[in-house]
Amino acid sequence: MSLFLDKIIPLFVYPVGFAVLAGLACLFSLALGRRRKAVALITLGTLYLWLAATPIVALALINSLEEQHPIVSIDTLPKADVAIVLGGVSVQSQKLNPYADLKSGADRILHAARLLKAGKVDRILVSSGRPVSQLDTRSEADVIAGFLREFGVDDADIVLESEARNTRENAVNSLASMRENGFSSALLVTSALHMPRAAAVFSRAGVRFTPVSIDALSSSIEARSVFAFLPNSKALDYSTQAIKEWIGMLVYYLRGWV
């Protein structure tokens, strides 16, 4: 049931998956001679895909999340014991590429290093385990620690939490690690898009923290011209990410995690 809630069902709610499902349903309806229903299905699927792929809709969806915890200057942040950095932002080294790569949202790694160097925290806690499909690889926390070292962070300033597989486990495991290391306050560092769900989960888990958003997608969306109403793949990707977060919030609510 967990797999269906987390992975399978959302695939058919995302714009591309919904459009494909609507198209298949349309063909099935035509095969049954239900032309009116077929037209309604293909129209609905096409309209949803079109709207989600327009910059103006993508911006509205992104802003609905990112405006909840805006990015602020480091100078305005309180001092805390540790910066908690969440994973999901790197790709393991591959046979054709011996180096780990960074994905979207990786600004959070650099921002954690900034916080440490600015004296806002004493340590950095990296929370991220292994993907279910890559249990034979090293944890992402270890991969991120490698990038932090490249940014000049000492090993002694890095604490690893290598078991979390989702945001709730990030919160529960980070709290345990904070208690183990004597930390009582934290700066939670993650992407602005992910922060609403992360903040809700960490609050429910009992972590004392200040949200520190970074990597705002809205800043890279141009929606002030006629092109704001024309679909493109970048806007579709951003809309899908926002929808994913809202679905994640709903699933977490149903599970009692937020």
* Residue 135, amino acid: L
pLDDT beyond 80 at 7: no
Three-state SS at 219: helix
23-60 pLDDT tens trace: 999 999 999 999 999 999 999 999 999 999 999 999 99
Question: What does the pLDDT read at residue 6?
Answer: 63
Question: Strands 101-102 and 90-91, how do they pair?
Answer: antiparallel
Query: Which residues are CB-contacts of 129 (< 8 A; sequence separation ≥ 6)?
Result: 87, 139, 140, 141, 162, 163, 164, 165, 169
What homologous superfamily does CATH list for 74-215?
HUPs (3.40.50.620)
Tell me how crowded residue 66 is: count the other CB atoms within 10 A of its CB: 25
For range 9-13, the mean pLDDT: 82
Structural domain boundaries in the chain: 2-66+228-254, 74-215
Q: Write the pLDDT tens digit of every residue in 67-112.
A: 999 999 999 999 999 999 999 888 776 667 777 788 888 899 999 9
Note the pLDDT of residue 134.
Answer: 60
Give, to the nearest 10 degrees, the angle between helix 167-181 and helix 195-205. 50
Alpha carbon distances (Å) from 10 to 2, 68, 225, 236: 12, 23, 32, 15
SS3 118: coil
Structural element, H or E, at residue 214: strand 209-214
What is residue 136's DSSP assignment?
T
Phi, psi angles (nearest 5°) of residue 89: -130, 15
Q: From residue 74, how far is each of 118, 121, 198 by CA, in Å?
A: 8, 11, 20
Q: What is the pLDDT of residue 76?
A: 97
Left if phi > 0, otherwise alpha if psi is -120 to 50, otherwise beta: which for 98? alpha
**Percentage of residues of the chain with pLDDT beyond 70:** 93
Instruction: Report whether 19 contacts 45 (CB < 8 A).
Output: yes
The three state secondary structure string of 27-50 is HHHHHCCCHHHHHHHHHHHHHHHH
Rg of the chain (C-alpha set) = 21
DSSP secondary structure letter of residue 95: S
Tell me what pLDDT residue 5 has.
56
What is the pLDDT at residue 132?
61
Residue 214 confidence (pLDDT) above 70: yes
pLDDT of 2: 56
Rounded average pLDDT over 118-143: 86
Q: Would you place residue 136 in the very low, low, confident or very high pLDDT band (cuts 50, 70, 90)?
A: low
DSSP sequence for 157-198: GEEEE----SHHHHHHHHHHHHHHHT---EEEEEETTTHHHH
Helix (H, G, I), strand (E, B) or coil at 90: strand
Assess whether pLDDT exceeds 60 at residue 193: yes
Mean pLDDT on 124-146: 84
| Residues above pLDDT 90, as percent of the chain | 79
pLDDT of residue 133: 58
pLDDT range class, residue 178, cuts 50, 70, 90:
very high
pLDDT of residue 95: 66
